Amino acid sequence: MKYETLLDLEKRIDTRYAEKRKKAIENKSKLDVYFIELYIKKMYGEDLSSYYLVTPGVTSRWKSSYNAFPTSRIHEFTFREGSRDIVELLKRIYE
């Protein structure tokens, strides 16, 4: 059995906490289909299907399943809009 010093134990706990906090922040700041839909509707007055040139059934599937929105479509959105920062995109909508 290996014994740790108090300092080693505190460092390990701090590191684990920092990693969990970073993951939580990343998960909260991810673009999702509902934010993208809001952005497109406010900025362009379009719906998802016309923005991505797909049928309404495809966008319905994207919204109905948590993991159905393709990451390639998120990359396309960030490329077309020039940002993936949610705060910046919200400022664009409401300015």
Lowest-pLDDT choice from 20-24, 40-44, 55-59, 75-79? 20-24
DSSP secondary structure of 43-66: HHS--HHHHHT--HHHHHHHHHST
Phi-psi region of 3 (alpha: psi -120 to 50; beta: other; left: phi over 0): beta
Domain ranges of the chain: 1-30, 31-94
Calculate the CA 22 to chain-centre distance. Answer: 14
The 3-state DSSP class for residue 94 equals helix
Give the whole-number percent of the chain exceeding pLDDT 70. Answer: 81
Calculate the CA 7 to chain-centre distance. Answer: 36
Tell me the whole-structure pTM to 2 decimals: 0.66
Confidence of residue 23 (pLDDT cuts 50, 70, 90): low
Structure tokens at 95: 């300015």
